A = this chain, B = another copy of it.
Amino acid sequence: MTSENTTTLPARGIPADPDAPVLELRSDISVDLVDHSASDLSVVRAARVSTVGDDAQYETKGDGYVAGLIDYLMKSRHGSPFEHNYLTFLITAPIFTVRHLMRHRTWSFNEESARYRELRPVFYVPDADRLLRQEGKPGHYTYVAGDGDDHQLVTEASAAVYAKAYQEYTGMLQAGIAREIARMVLPVATYSSVYATCNSRALMHFLSLRTARPDATYPSHPQREIEIVAEQMENSLQKLMPLTHAAYEAHGRVSP
């Protein structure tokens, strides 16, 4: 996590106890690419059932050959050649966002456990750019800015809950209650960390559902926080597999 969006606020309505843990309120959601083996050529190798030793022949045919084959595979939804690669991300995000991420069943996940570790008092609050009001009916929400006080209202209300929750959490732990019980009072805004591995096909499917792109063939309406995760992952895909990403964009952002 970068520290620029981090703010530590005095929690509203909590008595000034010098021994109380200081809450850390953050608005950043971080995604780090911690391991990978992914390239456009790996798609060609898989589609041609060939090895690295054959790459030279594809390269001598020029970018046009590789780009053309990838474009054809994407358009025809020949998805399996896009699976022979690997990206591992470390995501730090609030639990409600982690829950969106972990719906995706073709991924591999490991999350830090509140059964084994005492959680730190780090909680999510939306930053000033987050649109806080929804309009329209379910399935067709749009989000708009409210008046100037909304951001302060949300920050104060949530900080007050976080302070109370963490106070009781640590109180129960100090009284000897098991971590897996005490943690039940913690809010879904509590930060968690997840190790997540996927291949580029699974990633494109995730991106199609978790980014809001009006130009997509099937536009989606994700919550902004999971979209922040998706955008960072898409940057990694675009850097590692630019031809694959270009073909994905060209054909409506539907995973092959």
Contacts and interface: CB of A to CB of B under 8 A. Distances in A.
A49 B111 contact: yes
A158 B181 CA distance: 10
B150 A175 contact: yes
Contact of A184 (B158, B251, B254): B158
The number of times this chain is found in the oligomer is 4
A103 to B, nearest CB: 7
Q: How large is the interface on A (under 10, 10 to 19, 20 to 34, 35 or more residues)?
A: 35 or more
A32 to B, nearest CB: 7
A1 interface: no
A76 interface: yes
Q: SS class of chain A's interface: helix, strand, loop or mixed?
A: mixed
Contacts of A193: 49
Contacts of A217: 217, 252, 254
A213 interface: no
Given A37-B86, A188-B184, A76 B220 contact: yes
